[in-house]
Amino acid sequence: MNAVIAGMRAELLRLRKWPSMWVLLAAWIVLNLVFVYVFNYVTVKTGGTTDMASSAPPDVLLAQMLPSAVPQVFTQGMALFGGALMLILGALTIGSGYGWGTWKTVFTQGPSRSAALAGTLLALLTVVIGLVLTVAAVDVGVATVIAAVESEPADLPAASAMLKALASGMLILAMWTAAGVLVGALARGPALSVGLGLVWVLVVENLLRGVAAVLDPVSVVTDFLPGTAAGSLAGSLRDFGGDTTPGVLHILDGSTAVLVLAGYVAVFAVGTIRLVRRRDVN
């Protein structure tokens, strides 16, 4: 356990000094603000069709931008765009170690491979938790400003709803990060792993769900894909009508989605450790 903690601290130190991580995290915070608040607010003020997430009327869009609605809109982009960015982070974190030769050094001179990888996974989990809490704080702050400007009630969301949204966001992003880690270990390089991951998130799953809409038996598989589970968990938090947010689905109920996502996190993490232990030379 001491080796795992030491590995986590070392990885956190590396991540803190790694510009790529901060670029990816900042990109998601900005994208979250743009898709959840900027487009919707411009639509409300202009009466146009700038909104990229919904065809709802202006009063519904405004309600989605108030503090009380943060638990419902908080995770809406994590299933697709936020998940893709975190998959990139996971893939780069592991894949770059092969490109730089640092994994070779760690595996030959450092702690056991299991301890080193477990420390890296815990470090990435810490990053995920910090990102989710930061995005939540930013969303509540922006929503409060919008409520004040529009003379709307600035009631804070219920604590139970906010905690549920935070836990859901952490689970969604942890799953995609763990998926990126596994792809990075499989590809043993950053470029290929990032490319494969993005193709799966943005293309393959959508194509498979499209096939399932025509061939019903295929839905037995597509209903439990990582993106489907992530989108269903995000969708279970929302009660806005006419929602067409990309990546948000209503295929699985919330409890089932949680179990599927937790299973994927475990499979991806254990799979990465077992793969590296069996394949890479000490």
Bridge partners for 54 per DSSP: 243
Sign of CA dihedral 85, 88, 92, 94: positive
Q: Give the tens place of pLDDT for each residue, 199-217.
A: 888 888 878 877 777 777 7
CA distance 276 to 228: 28
Instruction: Please provide the average confidence, as pLDDT, over all residues in the chain.
Output: 86
Q: Give the tens place of pLDDT for each residue, 223-257.
A: 899 999 999 999 898 876 555 677 788 889 999 99
Give the pLDDT confidence score for residue 52 in this predicted structure.
47
Burial class (CB in 10 A: 0-12, 13-18, 19+), 85: buried
Taking each helix axis from N to C terminus, what angle separates 113-149 and 102-109, rounded to the nearest 10 degrees? 130
Q: In 3D, which of 189, 174, 200 has the Cα closest to residue 263? A: 174
Q: Give the tens place of pLDDT for each residue, 89-139.
A: 999 999 888 877 778 788 787 778 888 899 999 999 999 999 999 999 999
Q: Judge whether 181 and 273 are in contact, CB under 8 Å.
A: no
The secondary element (H helix, E strand) that includes residue 280 is none
Long-range CB contacts (within 8 A, 24+) of 262-265: 262/171, 264/175, 264/178, 264/179, 264/226, 264/229, 265/171, 265/174, 265/175, 265/178
Q: Give the tens place of pLDDT for each residue, 173-196.
A: 999 999 999 999 888 888 888 888
